[in-house]
Structure 1
Amino acid sequence: MKNKYPNLQIIVLLIFLLATSIQNVLAQDIKKFKISGIVMENGKPLEDAMVILKPKQKVAYTNENGVYNFNNLVAGNYIISVKVTGANLQEKEINLNQNVINFDFKFDAQKLNEVKVVSNKTINQNPISVGKSSIKGFDLPQSVSIINNEIIENQQVNKLSDVIQNVNGVALGTARGGTGESFYSRGYSLGRNSLLKNGSAVSSSVMPEASTLESVEVLKGSAALLYGNVSSGAVVNMVTKKPKYEFGGEVSLRTGSYDTYKPIVDVYGPISKDLAFRVVSTYENAASFRNNVKTDKIYVSPSLNYKIGEKTNVLLQADYLKYDNTPDFGIGTLDGKIPTTINRESSFNTPWAFNKVNQTTTSIIVDRELQNNWNLNFIAGYQNYDRNYFSTERIQAAANGDLSRNLTRANSFENYFNGQLNLTGKLKVGKIEHQILLGTDADSYKTTNNGYASLPTYDKINTLDANKFTARTDEPTVNLLTITQSPTYRFGVYAQDLISLTEKFKVLAGLRYSYQMIDNQSIKDVKTGASSINTLSNRSDDAFSPRLGLVYQPNKTTSFFGSYANSFEVNTGTDVTFNNLAPSIINQFELGLKKDLFQSKFSANFTIYKIINSNTTQQAEFLADGKTINNDNKIQEFLGETTSDGFEIDLSGRIVGQLSFLAGYSYNFMRFTDVSTAKNSPILGEEFVRNVPHTANGTLFYTFKDGKVKGLKFGASSFYTGNRFAGWNNKVGQSQTESRILPLDGFTTFDFSAGYSFKKISILAKISNITDELNYVVHENYSVNPIAPRQFLTTISYKF
């Protein structure tokens, strides 16, 4: 049909073009304005200050030069306000004829370290101290989790695992006999050297005290360039509470289920204008949901902060921990399977079994501000560790419940020294900016182990019928035979540079050289007094560990990254023939996205990775004869190449008001990818036992700040652990009718908290594992420990 109005389309198009042109002209007539300024403290730029533009309620944060900006403003009257903790609110009325508005806060010079800027900046915008060079999260091509003091207090954490369960991708375990905690990240155990306190390595052989924690940082993936021989899964840095130059403190009492009793005292203040102190101390006495299991702990941590002029700060810290607990090997197995007829309260140890630990730690941290944005940091630490242990071992009962209880007697001492020196700074060459780290570290530790005469089978019991046999209750005498001293020395130098090619493209490159020597063992025969030297124990290893990362930031709230790192893992101990183990070579690849949302109040980060270990080790199952069960964790065996890959999602921040949010999910698959086909070798492709493929966590807390319910607080947390395997990996040549792997179902626990604060007094209560979920934590290779049932915990505090 012929169009009756052939020019209608042309007329409409011309009208649209005309209207668009008029709109553009009008838009050009609306003048846009910009406001900027500098926020200062005592005449120096103040970073991370929150600046609010009213009435539009726009928010900006000052950069490292104290500068803030507001763009695309139309004509009108505005108010700019800046709030800094420790100072009165500053507000200035302006009109848009002004475009530069500055603020300057004045503080007592001795209280500057107490000033905290009111800020909602995310983990991506803040410097990461565990990274040594204060690189901001957005610039770091690596995944990081930080659990801050707010979460630590809200969840009433009692031990490090209470904190770590908030870090997705890190699974919880337990040490032999429940004497300590162990953690697994990306399939790897976070053992010796991977646990840090204020950047200095500490023993992972005892449960750290959590009452002194200010925050916990977890640097996931490879940290070999920064810390040397650490786990390929992650390093955990415990940041402790520091002295303050104003008097105050807190006294609290924590109590709860199973006769838990824990008073905590935290006092701080100035000694002089340049010297401040802090003392955190606690005593803990608790029973357990497990029969005949108890804990007794004494802890004290004094610290001093000394200001030497305006550019040098010295922090001295120490702590003493006396930790006594009952060794607990869980419910064990029946005929190699997890028993379903034994309740979680059942314990099969002797009434006299003990694990007694005394640990003293000291450290000094010196920070020196040099010229032109350069800084020098020195850290030195010493730790003395003394463990006295006597207990029955492995609960591996027959199908009918019969169990022959064997004994282990151990007495070990460790003196550990470590130090590091780091030079950090920024410089600009042409248009390219550099953020440089140069450092060196060294440590030495001497371990003394007392060797005792072998003991016959202690007795026989039945885990299903306590009346079948009469259990012994006496503590046997054990003869000390040898005292063995084993010294180890390590040294490393490293260099790293964050190169900002443009505002959007950055390169992080670094290289480390590491050297480790295990010296000759000295063995003393207690009976004769004669000493001998084991020259077979002497070994040295060295290697270069490179790191390369690329970062692309299309805008200020988005960062894409990719990285590669290589490291070598020194395998301590010996094989079954007492020969030293060669190191394992590990390659790690990582890709990720970091994104800030909701006006930079909330972060959503995603990471995908692959880790290839040339030769994974574990505690040898049997001694050299292939029959005798090995109870010595220093006797290891190679398994072959393993590959671990997966991804992690981290969510954190504040979406609205006082609603804080933390959540995450991780997936990891670790399996054997290159093994021998010889008898007793692992099965190619089989998943590595103790690996936890799925973990997830979520926490919400809301605090009312106004109205009649001011001070009221509510919170809820949930933690998920997926299906996994305990037991031992299957081997080539074994019977095909029976698997050595023990499958464990996944489980989820829910916690609920409520509290109220009025002036200086607060009370906070928590119910954990509300649904009374029954499940297990993997305990080495042969057993599992039940998780705690529903429990109640409350803390009453007074701040002064």
Structure 2
Amino acid sequence: MRKIIITTVSLFFSVSILAQETKKDTVNSLKEVEIKNKYKYKREKSTTVSRMPLNNIENPQVYNTITSELMKEQVVTNFNDALKNATGITRLWESTGRGGDGAEYYSMRGFSVQPTMINGLPGINNGSIDPINVDNIEVIKGPSGTLFGSSLISYGGLINVVTKKPYSTFGGEISYNSGTYGLDRITADVNIPLNKDVSLRVTSAHQNEDSFQDAGFSKSFFVAPSLSYKVNDKLSFLINTEFTNRTSANAPMIFLNRGVLLSFNSMDLFEKNYNNSFTSNELTMSNPTFNMQAQMFYKISEKWTSQTVLSRSSAKTNGFYHYLYDAGNGDDFYRFISKANSQTQGTDFQQNFIGDFKIGNLRNRMVVGIDYLNLNQRNGNAGWLGNGIVTLSTGEDTGVLSSSGVDNLLANSYAGNTTSENEVISAYVSDVLNITDKLSVMASVRVDKFISKTGKSYNQTTVSPKFGAVYQIIQNKVSVFGNYMNGFKNNAPTLQLDNTYSNFKPEHANQYEFGLKTNLYKDIISATISYYNIDVKDKVMSDAAFTTFRQGGEVNSNGVEISFTANPIKGLNIIAGYSYNDSEVVKDELDDTYIGFRPEEAGPRALVNLWASYAFTDGSLKGFGIGFGGNHASEFNVLHRKGIGSFTLPDYTILNSALNYNTDKFNITLKVNNLFNEKYYSGWSTVTPQRLRSLIAGLTYKF
């Protein structure tokens, strides 16, 4: 550790950065910066959660916001570390890079979800999201099918990334981070006003990092140009683009056997192999990703604005994917391997009309929209073949781990070309009606037509409603709220074991929720307390081999969430959260395997997050700051089935700390993650060791 600190400190003095002198900010820009610095853990208003501008305290839906200021303070270099600041969310799977669903999986309100939304629009990826272009992350809770459809979100909610946008003055920053496990990361964020109407902003990151295990690495390059153009007082354009090129060698997922009596009863063998990756740096996966969003805003009148959006996403997978599967003898795991070559593409078109008007004396805020989404995936993969056995008791691995050796193994195993394509055509309307200054109600509905063009052609139509009410006990300070929200899942025709297709009607999830929101003491304390209950009906369930599917399953998920953000005194910022979730399968249409059990995707029952920082604002220590916090998760069953058994991952508490020195031009930060080098795991019918203690040092030059 001492050697790492000395090396890192020396980097501070060896890195030099060239920059231009800045133009003076406008008064409005200065005010905006001051507000962000004072309340850097909050964004009180969102334009995407309800698809209209709405303050948090008047929104009947619960969401958490993770700001870019908080991520900078914590020296966040990956998406998972950012999400650790949100209440009630935890990672189940790391990114596998495989086609279609290779992004990270998280659990929220008892259901798995992936980060697939950017600025409220589809943003597909098979790898991971770089935080450099993130202004804030909105973790939106509950089934949100009415405004966001069903193809890219879950019953637990959605993760929406709000990107950085161009602004009217010149400015930016360049940063360099270095740390343990070979971390080298350089980032840039530059905003250039081309003239008084056109501004260009470019964010970029290049990162190399090794695994904490004996093999594995990630190497990525990211660039995101965005352009804003104000044509006149009525018409403006905003174009966002993102290009990612990521190559990695990922440790194989370690699956417990889901079809036989569980043969593991302790963590001993997994702890013995905590640092073993069971891969090599030759077995790499490449995940190029592209996202583009072009938006046109036209002010029709003082009361109505038109928003026209075209978005395009592409995520490719090219390389080796392998996993380990429990042999059922309490020691051995079979390795299965393939070489993937696939591409997922998404095209989305939206037309929204956003209004703020009165009928009589009653204020209405309304969005009326149509949405067309096309998703298609093309695969040309090698076949799946066995590649050795991993024995945990000895660490022995009989597989081939060279790229040439695996290529020889997979020769002539080509599985053929496959394609899948789905279309969704939707229309929705949502209205927030202020009955009085303190009482408002929301009513929303979506009509959704799903068209499957895969295998057997099929289409179905679904109606999804949403209702909410907010009463502000103290206007703009304290409100009570309640909501009824619906989510749904369209099911394409499903191939059964007998090689025939079955059609299933849409699944539905219905949530009711009520709680309290506060924004007290000149906006320096914000809190949300809520209780929710989600019932899922008509769930399609399968056997362990995913060969037989039946519809009619039912799941109940309920719990409480408490979120807290505060700036009680100058320089002190706190963000904290607690969640408890109780989920249960109440009906299993197939074979009663899951009845009475907590779903494996539900993750830990209890989650706690905390981060507090203090920055000295005057005196001889002015500019210095300190931060401390961490996360706690209760024990949870990653395998939990009748006739098979339960395997429990232990609870854990991870603590982190940071020191920083900040001036108008420079920021120097030292961050320690997993301060006490705790061994801990994540999983979803899998057992995945998580990163041990790491040290990151960062230097930023601002201009």
TM bin (shorter chain): 0.7 to 0.9
SS at match of 2:126: coil
| Partner residue, 1:675 | 588
Q: CA deviation at 1:405?
A: 2.3
**Which of 1 and 2 has greater Rg?**
1
| Partner residue, 1:223 | 144
Q: Distance in 2 between matches of 1:336 and 1:571?
A: 35
| Partner residue, 1:553 | 472
Deviation string, structure 1 residues 144-179 (Cα, Å, up to 9, x no partner): 111112211111111221111111111212157475
8 A Cα contact 2:462 2:506, kept in partner: no
| Partner residue, 2:10 | none
> 97, 107, 127: which one pairs with 1:206?
127
TM-score, normalisation: structure 2: 0.88
Q: Does 1:377 align with 2:307?
A: yes
| Partner residue, 2:668 | 763
Amino acid across the alignment from 1:131: S
Q: CA deviation at 1:360?
A: 1.2
Counting matched residue pairs gives 655
| Partner residue, 2:679 | 774
Alpha carbons of structure 1 residues 481 and 773: separation in structure 2 relative to 1, 3 Å: closer
Q: Distance in 2 between matches of 1:595 and 1:392?
A: 48
Alpha carbons of structure 1 residues 638 and 353: separation in structure 2 relative to 1, 3 Å: farther
Amino acid across the alignment from 1:340: D
8 A Cα contact 2:124 2:291, kept in partner: no
Q: Does 1:250 align with 2:173?
A: yes
- Cα RMSD of the aligned pairs, angstroms, is 2.5
> 389, 398, 404: which one pairs with 1:460?
389
Q: Distance in 2 between matches of 1:86 and 1:648?
A: 40
Q: CA deviation at 1:312?
A: 2.3
8 A Cα contact 2:287 2:317, kept in partner: yes
Query: What percentage of residue pairs aligned between the two structures are identical?
Result: 24
SS at match of 2:287: strand
Q: Does 1:516 align with 2:450?
A: yes
Q: CA deviation at 1:248?
A: 2.1
Q: CA deviation at 1:654?
A: 0.7
SS at match of 1:141: coil
8 A Cα contact 2:170 2:191, kept in partner: yes
| Partner residue, 1:430 | 360
Deviation string, structure 1 residues 16-73 (Cα, Å, up to 9, x no partner): xxxxxxxxxxxxxxxxxxxxxxxxxxxxxxxxxxxxxxxxxxxxxxxxxxxxxxxxxx
Alpha carbons of structure 1 residues 498 and 196: separation in structure 2 relative to 1, 3 Å: same
Amino acid across the alignment from 2:342: S
Amino acid across the alignment from 2:81: D
| Partner residue, 2:482 | 562
Amino acid across the alignment from 1:432: L
SS at match of 1:211: helix
Q: CA deviation at 1:616?
A: 3.4
Alpha carbons of structure 1 residues 438 and 177: separation in structure 2 relative to 1, 3 Å: closer
Q: What is the 5 A alignment of 1:26-105?
A: 86=25
SS at match of 1:131: coil
SS at match of 1:690: helix
Q: Distance in 1 between matches of 2:148 and 2:601?
A: 25
| Partner residue, 2:216 | 293
Q: CA deviation at 1:596?
A: 2.2
Alpha carbons of structure 1 residues 403 and 331: separation in structure 2 relative to 1, 3 Å: closer
| Partner residue, 2:645 | 740
Q: Distance in 2 between matches of 1:400 and 1:424?
A: 59
Q: Does 1:235 align with 2:158?
A: yes
Q: Does 1:712 align with 2:624?
A: yes
Deviation string, structure 1 residues 262-307 (Cα, Å, up to 9, x no partner): 1112222112222111111111111111221111111111111111
Amino acid across the alignment from 2:556: T
> 170, 183, 200: which one pairs with 2:89?
170
Q: What is the 5 A alignment of 1:113-128?
A: 118=35, 126-128=45-47
8 A Cα contact 2:282 2:401, kept in partner: no
| Partner residue, 2:410 | 477
Amino acid across the alignment from 2:601: R
8 A Cα contact 1:152 1:215, kept in partner: no
Q: CA deviation at 1:711?
A: 1.1
Q: Distance in 2 between matches of 1:618 and 1:716?
A: 43
SS at match of 1:152: helix
Does 1 or 2 have the higher relative contact order (CA < 8 Å, sep 6+)? 2
Q: CA deviation at 1:397?
A: 4.7
Q: CA deviation at 1:719?
A: 0.7
Q: Distance in 1 between matches of 2:664 and 2:482?
A: 49
Q: Does 1:574 align with 2:494?
A: yes
Q: Distance in 2 between matches of 1:285 and 1:216?
A: 24
Q: CA deviation at 1:667?
A: 0.7
8 A Cα contact 1:291 1:347, kept in partner: yes
| Partner residue, 2:641 | 730
| Partner residue, 2:245 | 322
| Partner residue, 1:750 | 655
| Partner residue, 1:689 | 600
Q: Distance in 2 between matches of 1:210 and 1:176?
A: 15
| Partner residue, 2:424 | 490
Q: CA deviation at 1:197?
A: 1.0
| Partner residue, 2:319 | 389
Alpha carbons of structure 1 residues 496 and 700: separation in structure 2 relative to 1, 3 Å: same
TM-score, normalisation: structure 1: 0.78
| Partner residue, 1:409 | 339
Q: Which structure 1 residue ranges, 5 or more long, are not aligned?
A: 1-84, 89-106, 522-533, 627-635
Amino acid across the alignment from 2:624: L
Q: Distance in 2 between matches of 1:693 and 1:615?
A: 24
Q: Distance in 2 between matches of 1:124 and 1:755?
A: 23
